[in-house]
Amino acid sequence: MKTIYVGNLPFTSTEDELRDLFAQHGTVYSVKLISDRDTGRPRGFGFVDMEPHHASVAIEALNGQDFQGRALRVNEARERVGRGPGPRS
């Protein structure tokens, strides 16, 4: 499984809409839109899990594509480093 970062999403986007977009390029295992932990408002990015080959095809096809009036930023997600649990300062 490969995780794809999807950025520059409209704040009105839903997980179902994102799933439908990526499903055109292969099986989507999960979709997660990220919200601000304090306000609950969408942050404009999310993650999609797909098989590695399908993920590569989707990244190539969707990076820069217009989605609801915004040019998507789509690439392979990277591991977050240096952030442990605990309160933000």
Strands (E), 9-88: 28-35, 42-50, 66-67, 70-71, 73-76
Q: Tell me what pLDDT residue 35 has.
A: 96
Q: What is the pLDDT of residues 28-86, one digit of tens each?
A: 999 999 999 999 999 999 999 999 999 999 999 999 999 999 999 999 999 877 665 65
**Which of 64-69's residues contact partners 24+ apart within 8 Å by CB, and which partners?**
67/9, 67/10, 67/13, 67/21, 68/10, 68/12, 68/13, 68/17, 69/10
Q: Alpha carbon of 46 to those of 29, 73, 89: distances in Å?
A: 14, 11, 24
Q: Tell me what pLDDT residue 75 has.
A: 97
Q: How confident is the model at residue 8 (pLDDT cuts 50, 70, 90)?
A: very high
For the chain, domain boundaries:
2-76
User: Which architecture does CATH list for 2-76?
Assistant: 2-Layer Sandwich (3.30)
List helix spans (H) across the chain.
15-23, 52-62
Q: Tell me what pLDDT residue 43 has.
A: 96
- Supply the pTM of this predicted model: 0.87
Q: Tell me what pLDDT residue 80 has.
A: 75
| Cα–Cα dist 25/11, whole Å | 23
